[in-house]
């Protein structure tokens, strides 16, 4: 087992401040490639991705959720579109792969909820039968970028059950 890779997974944190610098085409392509290769239920791949990099469009997108400052500051925000028949579990897997791949190449990220997802459809021109409730804000980490202090975790014994829920 690679201890480094294990530690890398455990070390993934939401980072919310980024340098004011666009992502390189190469880095963005690498992140999207990791998204594309995510496993999905029955390998259906019922997802698509809207990459938003224009400042005004990022500002409009940020209005669609309540905790979206990372979107305003991001170099790019990838909106995950759940295509008809898609599962939220698959969207979660794709989001995690985006974040891990980004970290691997030095790009910081933060998951984002768009509480008003019907507004996201309007801003991005997504048809009504698709869902776009989540995205990932991305950017090269700012000098002072640090995870939020609240970021601890529940103890294992509080969340793990053996054989039966108890």
Query: Which residue of 67, 85, 89, 122 would you call a contact of ligand FMN, by CB under 6 A?
Result: 67
Letters for 3-32 (x = contact with ligand FMN by CB under 6 A, - = none) are ----------xx-x----------------
Least distance (Å) between residue 112 CB and ligand FMN: 4
Phi, psi of 133 (to 5 degrees): -95, -15
Tell me which stretch binds ligand FMN (CB under 6 A): 28-36, 40-48, 105-113, 156-164. 105-113
How far apart are alpha carbons 125 and 52 in whole angstroms? 12
The reply on whether position 72 binds ligand FMN by CB under 6 A is no
DSSP H or E segment with residue 136: strand 131-139
Beta strands in 12-128 (DSSP E): 47-52, 76-82, 108-113
Q: Which of residues 75-104 bind ligand FMN (CB under 6 A)?
A: none
Report, in Å, the least distance between residue 162 CB and ligand FMN. 26
Residues 6 or more apart whose Cβ sits within 8 Å of residue 52: 58, 61, 76, 77, 78, 79, 124
């Amino acid at each position: 087992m690679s201890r480094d890779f294990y530690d890398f997974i455990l070390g993934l944190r939401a980072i919310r401040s980024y340098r004011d610098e666009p992502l390189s085409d190469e880095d963005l392509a690498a992140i999207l490639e990791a998204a594309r290769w995510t496993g999905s239920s029955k390998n259906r791949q019922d997802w698509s991705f809207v990459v938003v990099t224009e400042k005004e469009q990022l500002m409009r997108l940020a209005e669609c959720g309540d905790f979206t400052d990372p979107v305003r500051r991001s170099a790019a925000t990838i909106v995950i579109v759940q295509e008809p028949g898609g599962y939220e579990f698959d969207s979660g897997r794709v989001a995690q792969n985006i974040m891990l791949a980004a970290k691997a190449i030095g790009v910081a990220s933060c998951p984002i909820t768009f509480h008003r997802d019907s507004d996201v459809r309007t801003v991005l021109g997504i048809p009504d039968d698709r869902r776009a409730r989540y995205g990932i804000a991305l950017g090269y980490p700012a000098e002072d970028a640090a995870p939020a202090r609240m970021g601890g975790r529940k103890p294992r014994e509080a969340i793990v059950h053996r054989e039966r829920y108890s």
